[in-house]
Amino acid sequence: MKKAILLAMLVVAVAGICTFQYVFAEEDALAVTSFSAYLADEYGRELYSLNADSKHEIASMVKIMTADLVFEAIEKGELALDEKITVSQLAAGMGGSQMFLDAGEDYPVSDLLKGVIVASANDASYALAERIAGSSEGFVAMMNEKAAQLGMNNTRFANCTGLPSDAEQYSTARDVNIMTRELMSHDGYSDFASVWTEDYVHPSGRVTTLTNTNKLIRQYSGCKGGKTGYTDSAGFCLSACAERNGVQAIATVIGADDSKTRFAECSRLLNYAFANVTFCEVLKEGDAADFEVEIDGGKIDALRPVAAERIGLPVMRGEEVKTEYVAYDVKAPVSKGDAIAKIVLTSGDRRAEFELYADSDVEKCTWWDRVKDLIDLW
């Protein structure tokens, strides 16, 4: 009966309301002039929107999905960073921004991925697409399938580069924001996105200088990555992610009049996020939760689980975070670091779960331990 109670136990506590001062009192202070814009936090909560669902060409921001599918293939074990890909004539012949690959040469996946993320290389995008799907057409089908899975309901991909196409290709500020958030979730992405410039040495010994197209990497404090885009029909585009004080935000603009404007407007959007959202901390790394988890058959009856990371949620002024602790059914022996409970945080329609861990070993209670307990009681 006791175990059943523990399994169903939800210890509910309401954290204090996190309050702070606004820097921008009104969204009008953002003065966005781009065709469309969208700002959201890492949980997808909308913070600002302008024509967010209006379809528009997005140029090289298409490569956000290209890079996402490459990371997904790596995580599934279908591709390896050190695998070498032979570049086809079609890939090497891509126009627009390139890393100037040599047809017939073998390039590591890691180098091609760096070319896509840092230099917006069309040739590298095409070479990766051919390797993953067997053809550009097959890869585009994967892109559209993933877009549907992510709920990008107003997006259609026609190629993996964003180059002008005879087929219709479009997206929206909201949808680009969604796929940017998805790309940011992959381990290893920041290793590529943080590169500002590099003299890349081709297998032949030839050198090409790769320079990051996302200037916010150097110009905006906390920028973790993003993707630019430009064609005559798309205008100047940018989707960028930054993090400060535990708050992560993604800003997207489409159809700016010039390059300077896209960077300035994304910067203002990110400033707005960090001025109006704060991180409401519930537990610090190493903190013990304020409840105990029973250890069935252990020499110790219960443990207070601890946090292995800083735990909390980003909130707007006046919002509250509700906290629920859920104990697992734990049997001895227990090793330090075993997950023994979880904490569930909710604020509005946002929900996040974090596991909590044992901070010490618990040995299994033996028959002789029980006898000694009885003797001590007697």
The residues, ordered by sequence, that sit 6+ positions from 266 with a Cβ below 8 Å of its Cβ are: 216, 226, 238, 239, 240, 251, 252, 253
Provide the pLDDT for residue 371.
55
HEC per residue, the chain: CHHHHHHHCEEEEECCCCCCCCCCCCHHHHCCCCCEEEEEECCCCEEEEECCCCCECCHHHHHHHHHHHHHHHHHCCCCCCCCEEECCHHHHCCCCCCCCCCCCCEEEHHHHHHHHHHHCCHHHHHHHHHHHHCCHHHHHHHHHHHHHHCCCCCCECCCCCCCCCCCCCEECHHHHHHHHHHHHCCCCHHHHHCCCEEEEECCCCCEEEEECCCCHHHHCCCEEEEEEEEECCCEEEEEEEEEECCEEEEEEEEEECCHHHHHHHHHHHHHHHHHHEEEEEEECCCCECCCCEEEECECCCEECCEECCCEEEEEECCCCCEEEEEECCEECCECCCCEEEEEEEEECCEEEEEEEECCCCECECCHHHHHHHHHHHC
Choose one of 279, 306, 336: the last residue of a domain: 279
Helix crossing, 63-75 with 122-133: angle to 10°? Answer: 40
Provide the pLDDT for residue 1.
36
CATH number of domain containing 88 = 3.40.710.10
Provide the pLDDT for residue 21.
35
Domain count, the chain: 2
- Is the pLDDT reported for residue 24 higher than 60? no
- The residues annotated as belonging to the active site are 60, 63, 120
Provide the pLDDT for residue 30.
84
Provide the pLDDT for residue 31.
87
Say whether both 48 and 158 belong to one domain.
Answer: yes
Choose one of 279, 303, 332: the last residue of a domain: 279
Burial class (CB in 10 A: 0-12, 13-18, 19+), 341: buried
Under the banding of pLDDT at 50, 70 and 90, the label for residue 366 is: confident
Provide the pLDDT for residue 196.
97
Provide the pLDDT for residue 176.
98
Angle at 228 between CA 225 and CA 234, to 5 degrees: 150
Say whether both 183 and 201 belong to one domain.
Answer: yes
Provide the pLDDT for residue 28.
60
Say whether both 214 and 66 belong to one domain.
Answer: yes
* pLDDT, tens only, 49-79: 999 999 999 999 999 999 999 999 999 999 9
Alpha-carbon span 343 to 240, nearest angstrom:
30
Say whether both 100 and 208 belong to one domain.
Answer: yes
* Mode of pairing for the β-strands spanning 339-347 and 302-303: unpaired
CATH number of domain containing 311 = 2.60.410.10
Say whether both 297 and 189 belong to one domain.
Answer: no
* pLDDT, tens only, 99-113: 999 999 999 999 999
Provide the pLDDT for residue 29.
66
235: left (phi over 0), alpha (psi -120 to 50) or beta: left
Average pLDDT over residues 332-358: 95
Above pLDDT 90, what percent of the chain?
84
pTM for this prediction: 0.86
Task: Determine the structural domain holding residue 210 and report its residue range.
Answer: 31-279
Provide the pLDDT for residue 373.
56
Is residue 321 in some structural domain? yes
Under the banding of pLDDT at 50, 70 and 90, the label for residue 378 is: low
Provide the pLDDT for residue 6.
40
- Is the pLDDT reported for residue 129 higher than 70? yes
Provide the pLDDT for residue 7.
40
Task: List, in sequence order, every residue forming a beta bridge with 296; answer none if it has no partner.
Answer: 331
* pLDDT, tens only, 282-314: 999 999 999 999 999 988 999 999 999 999 999
- Is the pLDDT reported for residue 19 higher than 50? no
Say whether both 217 and 317 belong to one domain.
Answer: no
Under the banding of pLDDT at 50, 70 and 90, the label for residue 376 is: low
Above pLDDT 70, what percent of the chain?
89
CA dist list (Å): 6 to 60, 190, 226, 296: 52, 40, 44, 11
